[in-house]
Structure 1
Amino acid sequence: MPRLPLAAFAFFAVLAAHAADSRSAFLKLLDRPRVPLAADVSPPVTRDALVETAFSFDAEAGERVPGLLVKSATSNGRRPVVIVLHGTGGNKESQRALLAELARDGFAAVAIDGRFHGARAKAGKEAKSAEYVGAILERFRTGRGYPFFYDTAWDVMRLIDYLETRADVDPRRIGAIGFSKGGIETYLAAAIDPRIAVAVPCIGVQSFRWALENNSWQSRIETVQAAFNAAAKDSGVAHPGAEFVRTFYDRVAPGIYGEFDGPAMVPLIAPRPLLSINGEIDPRTPGPGLKECADAARAAYRAAGADDRFVLHVQPATAHKVLPESLVLARDWFKRWLKP
């Protein structure tokens, strides 16, 4: 095997050092008192050869997380599990079709409500994203919480704590998939929690920094436009541009375009299997920024001798959505690496 040149060794050493810094800094940012899970599990319901179980647990004081676990009625023993994270305005019930497919593949499949979504919204699932956007504005104004992506990474870590207590889950075979907002939360959670053995972030991997520097931030901001507009008004900014976007991000998700940006966090998943699914013309995950993430990931996987464990799947002529054939690819990726 040919030897790497000294320059390459130096590059990978710097990469590893920065990776360790980003992981420890993000964990420090997220850290909060770990309260008892106080898990509550409802009686399982069987329909169409699938068993669905509702559960809930405490992620932190005052934050109860509701979830669904679906598995085959013929499932026995400890099964690999796939966590499914919804996008902005979604909820755990919106993922039922994918949960069912994963359960038929032999997995235990789990979905939770993100903060201020579904059963965690005071107005219920009909609230869509209104309360979520309101919480982001509240963060901008008061500095309370991290509803914009970060808090869900903490909830996923606590969800894994709960899954480890279940007799029907194999804690060594945990996967995660998420969509848009959930895709970002997937790679953030996988970057800091090695218990996630396989990750499939969908239409989420991106460089926030690249978007800011290249006037391509508008589509991402549109997902929380009302909060952004109100924050600009509070700040006396009549025509907010990239500079105010930086101010907004610095308050609601500090580090999102720096040490916790995609090119910094995605490589932390190496050498665990990682499939990133993106749209070729998705304005929320611009191609050049995505390339920066993929290049950094490839370098990390190459350094770990695990080139075959990273795949970037770009859906041709596709904007911000996941095609049915891409979901099949994701399921096959989980089957390949988690072996249900």
Structure 2
Amino acid sequence: MWCPDPYLEHVYRNASEEAGLSPKRAWNERKAELRQKLIETLGNFNFNPASADLNPIVLERQDMGDYTLERVVYQTDAHLQMPAYVLIPHRLDGKAPAVLAWHGHGYGSREIVGLRPDGTADEGEPGIHQHYALQLVRRGMVVIAPEIIGFGDRRLSADSGKDPRKNSSCFALASRLLMYGKTLAGLRIQEAIRSLDYLLTRDEVDPERIGAIGFSGGGLIASLSSTLDERIKAVVVCAFTSTFRGSLLSMNHCIDNYMPAILPYADLPELIGLIAPRALFVESGMEDPLFPVDSVREAAAVLQEIYEAEGVKGRFEVDLFPGKHEVSGRKSFDWLERQLEELKAGFPL
């Protein structure tokens, strides 16, 4: 009798009507406004390429047989440094394509570069991240895997002694940033853009062939940072694309996924659609309980409409694979390699 479910349904319906979602307003009439609303919602961080010195330092370098693994650190804000792994293929023939790789919830960047939480080699079966940075570097791409703030080595001091596989600092960071009108998603996207600034200083990297890939919460960073930075030419989003109603509003997710006051303007697939006309690949497991397949299909249909409206429907692809909340890569890794290779051959975006 006193359940608030009907109230939340009413709020959602009103927000959706206020947004004027497609087909009520043409996409090309909305996208510039929507991009600005996204920036405001994230907390008005400085998302333009920064001129401030990155002060990069190489902490260590290892020869891994077919690639070199570096641990680097660079400045993302006056009081923030970001560590990252950089994987460089051996025997490069000139400048190489490069990929920003964003891990999901877990113990941080080590989880995608084939390392255990303590930094030793993980020689067992890969987990849901599938060590995908290794898959990409072995396809000839330079890969940077930054440590997202709130995970692994970048947790708050109160969380630093806890098991990094089970404990993050997402809630504390997100809730405190809200007091200043900022979001954790916005801070992470600002750091993603600074990571791209750093990547483009590398002699091995072709600045015209930059891609991004992200899994789960890393999918939020890969997709939304790409909407705001057109230097990224091709994007793979793993286990994140859905509608707000089908996922974030229907179950409990980590607070780092939520953005205040965005629903009166757009649903999640429209935000991701700001990547267009650049290339986008969406993959998701058909048994993923966090991003249910029906919501993925609904989001993919909206994205297909956006890419058709942009006149580039061939630049959007989807793979719904047999699996749960995990990285697949059965089509997406080759797709990303192909997209960045075609840019070398002189094809347009």
- Both proteins in one fold, TM over 0.5: yes
Distance 1:44 1:125, change over 3 A: farther
How much has 1:12 moved relative to structure 2? 9.6
Q: Find out whether 1:319 has 2:324 as its counterpart.
A: yes
**C-alpha contact (below 8 Å) 1:30/1:151 kept by paired residues:** no
Q: 1:135 maps to what in 2?
A: 173
Deviation at 1:131, TM superposition (A): 1.7
Query: 1:117 touches 1:125 (CA, 8 Å); kept in 2?
Result: no
Structure 1 residue 23 corresponds to structure 2 residue 35: yes
Is the 1:205–1:293 contact (alpha carbons within 8 Å) kept by the matching residues of 2?
yes
1:254 aligns with 2:260: yes
Find the aligned partners of 1:275 and 1:115 in 2 and give their Cα distance: 25
- Summarize the Cα distance change of 1:126–1:211 in structure 2 as closer, same or farther, 3 Å threshold: closer
CA distance in 2, matches of 1:26, 1:169: 29
**1:289 aligns to 2:295 (yes or no):** yes
- The residue aligned with 1:115 is 149
Deviation per CA, 1:35-83: give whole Å up to 9, x if none: 4322222353212221112211111121111111102222243110111
Q: Paired residues, what number?
A: 295
2:46 maps to which of 29, 32, 36:
32
Question: Structure 1 residue aligned with 2:139, among 96, 100, 105?
Answer: 105
User: 1:260 offset after TM fit, Å?
Assistant: 5.6
The one-letter code sitting in structure 1 at the alignment partner of 2:324 is A
Asked whether the equivalents of residues 152 and 168 of structure 2 are also in contact (C-alpha less than 8 Å), the reply is: no
Distance in 1 separating the partners of 2:263 and 2:82 = 28
Contact 1:255–1:261 (Cα < 8 Å) also in 2:
no
Question: Counterparts of 1:85 and 1:101 in 2: how far apart (Å)?
Answer: 14
Aligned to 1:233: none
Query: Does structure 1 conserve the Cα–Cα contact (< 8 Å) formed by 2:82 and 2:146?
Result: yes
- The answer to whether the aligner puts 1:146 opposite 2:183 as a matched pair is yes
SS in 2 for 1:327: coil
Aligned to 1:185: 221
Aligned mates of 1:261, 1:157 — CA distance in 2: 23
Structure in which a larger fraction of residues adopt helix? 1
Please say if residues 30 and 154 of structure 1, whose CA atoms lie closer than 8 Å, have aligned partners that are also in contact. Answer: no
Partner of 1:54: 71
Q: Structure 1 residues 94, 144: closer, same or farther in 2, change over 3 A?
A: farther
The match for 1:230 is none
Q: State the secondary structure of the residue aligned to 2:26.
A: helix
Shift of residue 268, structure 1, vs aligned partner: 1.1
Deviation at 1:26, TM superposition (A): 2.5
Mapping of residues 165-184 of structure 1, within 5 Å: 165-184=201-220
Measure the CA separation in 2 of the matches of 1:120 and 1:78. Answer: 31
Partner of 1:239: none
Question: Following superposition of structure 1 onto structure 2, how do residues 206-245 of structure 1 map, counting pairs within 5 Å?
Answer: 206-211=242-247, 217-218=250-251, 221-224=252-255
Q: Is the 8 Å Cα contact of residues 50 and 103 (structure 1) preserved in structure 2?
A: yes
If asked which structure has higher relative contact order (CA below 8 Å, sep 6+), I would say 2
1:163 equivalent among 194, 199, 207 = 199
Question: What are the Cα deviations for residues 205-241 of structure 1, in whole angstroms up to 9, with x where unaligned?
Answer: 12214547xxx621xx2435xx9xxxxxxxxxxxxxx
Distance in 1 between the 2:263 and 2:253 partners? Answer: 17
TM-score by length of 2: 0.76
Which ranges in structure 2 are unaligned for 5 or more consecutive residues?
1-21, 114-130, 345-349
Question: Structure 2: how far apart are the matches of 1:90 and 1:145?
Answer: 24
Structure 1 segments, 4+ long, off by >4 Å, are 10-13
**Structure 1 pair 258–39 and aligned structure 2 pair: CA distance change class (3 A):** farther
For 1:299, the aligned partner's letter is E
Distance 2:291 2:231 in 1: 26
Deviation of 1:146 after TM superposition, in Å, equals 1.8
List alignment gaps of at least 5 residues for structure 1. Answer: 1-9, 228-248
Shift of 1:306: 1.6
Question: Match for 1:66 among 66, 70, 83?
Answer: 83
Once the 2 structures are TM-superposed, how far is the Cα of residue 157 of structure 1 from its aligned partner?
A: 0.9
Deviations 1:167-208 (A, max 9, x none): 111111111111110112211112221111111110011221
Q: Is the 8 A contact 2:246 2:291 kept in 1?
A: no
Paired letter, 2:46: R
User: Post-superposition shift, 1:143?
Assistant: 3.5
Single out whichever of 40-49 and 302-311 deviates more from structure 2.
40-49
CA deviation string 1:275-310 (max 9, x = no partner): 101122323223343233212211121123222211
Q: TM-score, normalised by structure 1?
A: 0.78
CA RMSD of aligned residues (A): 2.6
Determine the C-alpha separation between the residues in 1 that align with 2:108 and 2:148.
Answer: 7
* CA–CA separation in structure 2 for the residues paired with 1:295 and 1:307: 12
